[in-house]
Amino acid sequence: SDPKPLAGRRVVVTAGGTREPLDPVRFLGNRSSGKQGIAIADQALQLGADVLLIHGHIEVEVPAHLTTVSISTADELRDAVLEYSAGADLLVMAAAVADFKPADYAEYKIKKTEHSDDAPVIRLVRNPDILKETVVRRQQNPELGPTLIAGFAAETGSAEHTVLELGQQKLQRKGCDFLAVNTVGLSQGFGAEENALTVLSLDGEQPFETSGSKAQVSRDLLLHIAKHFDEK
């Protein structure tokens, strides 16, 4: 029979994109399809874990055998993650979370005016950093865990830094145990069937690389992480 290295472990996975409402008909969103996070939840289940999938907006069906909670905004995701990850063995944050939301929600649909070329300016404010918040909570209340916390980093690279340099900086800033770095672009990461991950560890372990279908990279990621339960 299959090995079940996550048997007895409680795993919480986030997937999909958040939407930040602007008015009753519009929102700020992103191109996450949910495929990567759903694949992680599915593989964690196959590896024997007790899994909860918290998902935002997704473009694919969630397998019926997964237990789910659905959210829309980053604030809702934050509340769900803090509630359901308490006492968990592993949290994997694969959701694409909006860093900013509109400062004001317009109660009525925003209209263009007939007599001018004016366009409205949308002012944004910061959303909570959910990954960071779970790390800080664990520092303050170790009994709430999660024992292991893994984030994702969706990077395009920049003029000054490679994707991996940006990933290392993000790992230090967030302070999570693992950061799965994936390059994203118009045909990479978001929505794609395949992915390539470089998994960085806060403890300085050599980066772990995997590529292939989102199911394959999910399984490899979970098996890599599972080895670290013994050290905790």
| CB 113, min distance to ligand PMT, A | 34
Assess 152 for contact with ligand PMT (CB under 6 A): yes
Segment contacting ligand PMT by CB under 6 A, of 43-51, 106-114, 146-154, 199-207: 146-154
Assess 189 for contact with ligand PMT (CB under 6 A): yes
Burial class (CB in 10 A: 0-12, 13-18, 19+), 66: middle
Q: Write each residue from 16 to 45 as x if it is in contact with ligand PMT (CB under 6 A), else as -, in one continuous string.
A: ----------------xxxxx---------
Residue 174 annotated as binding?
yes
- Residue 75 Rama label (left phi>0; alpha psi -120 to 50; beta): alpha
Residue 30 known to be catalytic: yes
What residues between 49 and 78 interact with ligand PMT by CB under 6 A? Answer: 74
Residue burial 69-94, b: 16+ Cβ < 10 Å; e: rest: bebbbbbbbbebbeebbbebbbbbbb
Segment contacting ligand PMT by CB under 6 A, of 19-27, 65-73, 89-97, 107-115: 89-97
Site for ligand PMT (CB under 6 A): which residue of 184, 221, 222, 226? 184
Site for ligand PMT (CB under 6 A): which residue of 5, 21, 191, 212? 191
Assess 94 for contact with ligand PMT (CB under 6 A): yes
Tell me the catalytic residues: 30
Please give the annotated binding residues for CTP, written as ranges: 99, 109, 128-131, 152, 170, 174
